Chains A and B, each alone.
Chain A
């Protein structure tokens, strides 16, 4: 049995990142709850990190830069998730729903 070795080419990782971005955009557009949209946004951030790490591994002379960039993306994603989740909890207290169509009123 033989198997193609694809994990040493840049294009494979770029394809994986494009796939993750596609799933993220699909989820953001399709989902009808704020938490579902947040989950899909995490997929998009992950796609960005994979892209940075792929270019870091195959093209960049200093392999530290991409790793630090991906680490900062992770920190920002954690902060963003915490903020969005507390906003969701506040929205739920006011509207008794997390459907984005129902939160159409600006002043509470």
Chain B
């Protein structure tokens, strides 16, 4: 426990704020009937995760999270909602009355198991660091050690662009 009005205490308050943002966003994203509202919940949740990345000493990844996830992916999902549901959102009734409670039970069991595993394991001491993990180190490693995966991900993105163009264009002729 630390006093509230210190740097550590205020950082702790901000951290709890980010956790609340994640939980609220995930609740909205999974429970909202309106798909646009669910996408907004997803964006909130992803901004919260960006804050978590900031606390994990990686401001670069926090920036990328906001740029790619909260920016690009959410906007793409909104576009799909507009293209696929032109008459507004129709309510989909659930096939089975046990679907909601069953899903909750499975998810709670999974979360409880993972949390118990994380809390019970005695993690080893941190090893000595070989560099600071700054943006410069990330860029150098990406261009030397991980250059093959870097090229592969560019190829995957290219194939994804071409594939989505072909898939979305095919239906238009009919």
Contacts and interface: CB of A to CB of B under 8 A. Distances in A.
Given A59-B126, A89-B171, A99-B92, A1 B61 contact: no
Interface in A23-40: 23-33, 35-36, 38-40
A64 to B, nearest CB: 4
- 6 smallest beta-carbon distances between A and B, as pairs: A63-B133, A22-B111, A29-B103, A27-B30, A86-B164, A79-B160
B149 to A, nearest CB: 6
A33 B107 contact: no
A31 B114 CA distance: 23
A62 B141 CA distance: 10
B106 A58 contact: no
Contacts of B156: 75-76, 79
A32 B38 CA distance: 13
Interface of B: 1-5, 8-9, 11-13, 15-16, 19, 22-23, 26-27, 29-30, 35, 38-39, 42, 45-46, 49, 52-53, 55-58, 60-61, 64-65, 68-69, 72-73, 76-77, 79-81, 83-85, 92-95, 99-100, 102-104, 106-108, 110-111, 114-115, 118-119, 123-124, 126-133, 137-138, 141-142, 146, 149, 153, 156-157, 159-161, 163-165, 167-168, 170-172, 174
Contacts of A23: 26-27, 29-30, 107
A64 B137 contact: yes
A92 to B, nearest CB: 4
A39 B42 contact: yes
* Number of chain A interface residues as a range: 35 or more
24 contacts: A2-B2, A2-B3, A4-B12, A7-B12, A13-B52, A14-B115, A14-B118, A20-B45, A20-B49, A25-B106, A27-B30, A29-B102, A38-B77, A43-B30, A53-B56, A61-B128, A61-B130, A63-B57, A64-B138, A68-B138, A70-B53, A75-B153, A86-B167, A89-B83
Interface in A47-72: 49-50, 53-54, 56-65, 67-68, 70-72
